[in-house]
Each structure stands twice: as structure tokens, then as C-alpha cells.
Amino acid sequence: MMRMRSIALALSLLLPRMTCAQPPGGSEADRAALFAVDAEFSAAAQKIGIAEAFVRYADPEATMLPPGENAVTGAGGIRAQFAGMPAAATLAWKPVKAEVAASGDLGYTLGTYEMRSTDAEGKPVVRYGKYCSVWKKQKDGSWKWAVDVGTPSPPPK
């Protein structure tokens, strides 16, 4: 827990305007659990690929709001959304905030992401952004994302 806090603190220093708010309802344990799930979700994207990780962690009616495109819902839509990405691209993210309802069935995370790929000449390209994910507790007790939306950010200074 201390380690997670230290990571959150370090990230909040990098993103000073995204401060940790006083949470409204859920327990500290719920918030820590959701924070951990979002971090685990990013680790899964490195291991099994971005599209498969998004599908694996998706609520059955999960909706993505990709910039410049229409909203996408469900596993087929999610896979199609990532189909155009270069095979070597990686997407990694870090939650900086998690809040959970008092009832423990709904929560959200905020964080930052880095997408690494290569341009037409093979030169590495890094794109930075931030995201909000809304999460729903499933019947089996696991958290799955119900909404995912990210927007580009300027490179960190």
C-alpha cells in the first residue's frame, strides 16, 4: 500500500493539476483495489496485446469514445478500434486517481498513458495522453471497465 501511495504521489507530482481529491464514498480498500486493477490492466496490455487486454477487462457493454471516431461498444468494436494500430505499438498507462462509490459497484480511474510506435521511417514515436475509465463491479466480484476515453496531451516538460 505504501508503495502504491508512493507511485501515486510521484505521478501526481508529474501531473500537478490532477490532484488526489477527498473521496466521497467508497472505502480506502476499494479505491486501492480499483487502482491495482487499472495498473494490472496496463501490465496485461504489455503481455497479451492492447486489444486483447481491452477485451479481457471490458464490461459486456463497455463503450470507448475514441477521438475522431464514433463511439465503439462491445468486444468486436474494441478489437476493430485497435486493428489499425502498428503491430509493434505499445500502450502503457498509470492510474493517478481512483474513486469508488460507497456501494462498491461503480468507480472510476484517471491516469496518463504513453503510446510508443514507429513512424514510416522506423523512427520511434511517443504519444502522450490522459484518460478516464469508468469501472463496474461484476457479479463475480471483479472490476471491468464500462467506459474508456483518452485524449492526447502535450509531451511532459
Q: Which residues contact its own copies by CB under 8 A?
A: 15, 17-19, 21-22, 24-26, 59-61, 63, 65-73, 77, 99-103, 105-108, 110, 130-132, 134, 136-137, 146-147, 149-154
- Between 68 and 122, name the residue whose CB sits nearer to its own copies: 68
- Between 49 and 150, name the residue whose CB sits nearer to its own copies: 150
Least Å distance, CB 47 to its own copies, is 27
Rounded alpha-carbon distances, angstroms, from residue 91 to 47, 80, 82, 110, 129: 11, 16, 11, 16, 10
Least Å distance, CB 143 to its own copies, is 11
In 3D space, the residue among 136, 118, 139, 137 whose CA is nearest the CA of residue 127 turns out to be 118
Amino acid letter, residue 81: Q
Number of H helices, E strands in the chain: 4, 6
Least Å distance, CB 1 to its own copies, is 22
- Between 88 and 126, name the residue whose CB sits nearer to its own copies: 126
Least Å distance, CB 55 to its own copies, is 16
In 3D space, the residue among 115, 149, 137 whose CA is nearest the CA of residue 37 turns out to be 137
In 3D space, the residue among 63, 89, 85, 66 whose CA is nearest the CA of residue 76 turns out to be 63
- Between 2 and 21, name the residue whose CB sits nearer to its own copies: 21
